[in-house]
Amino acid sequence: MDCKMMKTQLPSGNYMPLIGFGTFQIRGRALIRNVLDHAFAAGYRQIDTAAVYGNEQDIGTALKELLPKYNLKREDIFITSKLSPSDQGNAALRALQTSIKNLDCGYLDLFLIHWPGVHGIRGSHPDNQKLRSLSWETLIKSVQQGLVRDIGVSNYTIPHLTEIVSKNYNVKVAVNQVEWHPHCHEEDLKQFCQNEKILLQAYSSLGGSSNLKLLSDAVVVDVANKLEKSPAQVLLRWALQQNIGIIPKARSKEHIEANIDLNFVIPEEDMNKLSNLRTVEKYAWDPKSIS
């Protein structure tokens, strides 16, 4: 199957493309418009953003121009945004409404609690658990109101996920978006998500925005040379081949197109090599400090 067509069904019954376009650190009306133009042309149909990225309004403006250009309707694309750590608790509903207004998209396909902690509260404080639980209960109501089709989380560990799963809420966790790449992949978290039918979605698939350590890893480079692909393509395909969602971001037309050009297979032997690299390193924030 063409990887551009690969989708997974979420608890609502709606389908989410496994490859999305990430917009972290991509800001400015002209830049957003240009990268989304290239992304739609290349075949992306999922856009991933967040309140803290500061680009929702510019994405909304770009969509008004670009959807007609590509003969697309709102329902043809999948839009994800995320709850700011400063809006945990009762403020979650208002924050979701603000994201919808900024994106000018009518509803969200997916809304994630961006971080298990609360801005301004130390990681060990019990209010983190209290407020993120309140956020989840608030977002359940937003699903029932039709503001968002599915809800999920980001940067959640197994204990954080267990809090939600153990309460048997009538709306299930659709997605857990976490840092995931050959230098940082917790197999027990992957297994937990599979058991609970939670889609694991990777960010920092290439090892972070400015760190080239993963892209230059000798094993990654060797596999890329063998397959006549770029190291970035190999890293993205490594996740996709495990049915893990990916949201690569890029600014150049060349990289945007390459990041979705993943119609190849990494042999099992090479998959095992990539999954068992000696380097174990996390390049983004670590949620394990949040109780």
What are the CA-CA distances from residue 110 to residues 59, 82, 91 (Å)?
16, 8, 18
Neighbours of 272 (CB within 10 A): 10
Residue type, 105: C
Which of 22, 68, 15, 90 lies closest to 251 in space, CA to CA?
A: 22
Place of tokens 């992306």: 44
- 172, with CB counted inside 10 A (0-12, 13-18, 19+), is middle
The residue annotated as part of the active site, out of 44, 53, 156, 203, is: 53
d(CA 180, CA 189): 11
Task: Provide the residue type at 137 as one letter.
Answer: E
> What distances in angstroms separate CA 25 from CA 85, 106, 249, one per listed residue?
17, 24, 9
What is the 8-class DSSP label of residue 198? P
3-state secondary structure (DSSP) of residue 154: strand
CB-based contact 84:52 (threshold 8 Å):
yes
Q: Kindly report the backbone phi and psi dihedral angles of residue 9, in degrees, each rounded to the nearest multiple of 5, phi listed first.
A: -90, 130
Our answer to whether residue 107 is catalytic in this structure is no
* DSSP percent split of the chain into helix, strand, coil, nearest 5: 45, 15, 40
Would you call 232 exposed, middle or buried from its count of C-beta atoms within 10 A (0-12, 13-18, 19+)?
buried
* Residues annotated as catalytic (active site), given as ranges: 53
